[in-house]
Amino acid sequence: MEIERRHSPVPDELLGYLRANPSAAQAAADGGVHVHVHHHYAAPPTVPAGAAVHQGPEKTVAERVIPWLYTALLACVVLTLCALVFAMVAVVVVAVLAAVILLGLVAAHVINSHAGAVEAKAKAEALAARSKHRRR
């Protein structure tokens, strides 16, 4: 009979008892005795209700970092789109301000020209009135 010794040795007393008293469940197919050794360990600590239970092997560094990298990539894409929209709005605002400044300069030139024309007309009328005055 060959006894499988994986974890701990089986006491000789137990081997002797099993050889002397084979039961139907323990009888192996080749006529020997099959011994199955049970190991009893301390019960694991109880987990409080609602607590997260970690199962399986611990995650690697890459498995923990990759979700954060995807989040950072998404943030970069969103910020790039926001910067693009801001740049387009800024171009429109600069064009509108340039148009308003140009309109103001044209209006100032027209007003200046009109004021100059009014002054010239007033001088011409004053000269005409003086010259009429002198004739009499």
- Quickly state the pLDDT bin for 51 (edges 50, 70, 90): confident
3-state SS track over 6-39: CCCCCCHHHHHHHHHCCCCCCECCCCCECCCCCC
pLDDT-derived band at 1 (thresholds 50, 70, 90) equals very low
Q: Which residue has the higher pLDDT, 32 or 102?
A: 102
Give the model's pLDDT for residue 15. 74
And the tokens for 45?
């600590």
The values of phi and psi at residue 36, to 5°, are -115, 120
Q: Are 3 and 15 in contact (CB under 8 A)?
A: yes
Residue 75 has pLDDT above 90, yes or no: yes
Please state, in angstroms and as integers, the Cα–Cα distance from residue 10 to each residue in 20, 29, 70, 126, following that order.
16, 21, 55, 137
Report the pLDDT value the prediction gives residue 107, as an integer from 0 to 100.
94
Confidence of residue 106 (pLDDT cuts 50, 70, 90): very high
Q: Which residue has the higher pLDDT, 36 or 79?
A: 79
**Higher-confidence position of 51 and 70:** 70
Task: Provide the pLDDT for residue 73.
Answer: 98
What is the pLDDT at residue 50? 81
Q: Where are the domains of the chain?
A: 1-38
What is the rounded average pLDDT for all residues in the chain?
81
**How confident is the model over 6-20, as a mean pLDDT?**
70
What percentage of the chain exceeds 70 in pLDDT?
76
Please tell me the distance from the alpha carbon of residue 33 to that of residue 21, in angstroms, as a whole number.
10
